[in-house]
Amino acid sequence: MAAPDALCWQHWVEEEESVLFDRRSGQTHLLTAMATGCLLLLQDAELDLDQLAEKLNVQFQTVPEQAAREQIEQLLLALNELGLITAVSV
């Protein structure tokens, strides 16, 4: 999975949520901290679900691991539906 480069961000210090503008669709999205972390990781590198879950678990200290993984799967589905991430064949 990878996040497209057509994303424009705005974060604010000490705020969990951020906003994102997608240059391709022209849409603006309000993102949770987890969604923001996920997209930023995917912008840096193509990651599979296991790699992504591992990095997010470290970043957000989510436990238990299985619940966190399900949460990340749901998040990826939502981001995919919004066109904010794309599947990449390896």
Partner 1 sequence: MTLNGIPCSELASLLASGEFVLRIGPFFVQLKADIDDLAALLQRLYGDCQLEAQTGLADFHVQLSKPRNLRRFYRPQARFLIDGHSPFAPFPVDHAFPLFEWGLNWCVASYSHQFLMLHSAVVEKNGKAILLPAWPGSGKSTLCAALVFRGWRLLSDEFGLIRPGTNAMIPFPRCIPLKNESIAILSDFAPEAVIGPVFPKTRKGDVAHFKPPAESVQRSTELAAPGFVIFPRYTPGQQAILRPLAKARAFMKLAGNAFNYELLGESGFRTVASLIRDCDTFLFHYDDLEKAVQTLDNLVE
Binding site for partner 1 (CB under 8 A): 8, 10, 12, 15, 17-19, 21, 23, 26, 28, 30
* Nearer residue to partner 1 within complex by CB, 29 or 55: 29
* Nearer residue to partner 1 within complex by CB, 21 or 60: 21
Minimum Å gap between C-beta 69 and partner 1 is 26
Minimum Å gap between C-beta 10 and partner 1 is 4
- How many C-beta neighbours within 10 Å does residue 33 have? 14
Radius of gyration of the chain (CA): 13
Q: Which residues contact 30 (CB under 8 A, 6 or more apart)?
A: 17, 18, 19
Element (H, E) at 20: strand 18-22
Minimum Å gap between C-beta 2 and partner 1 is 21
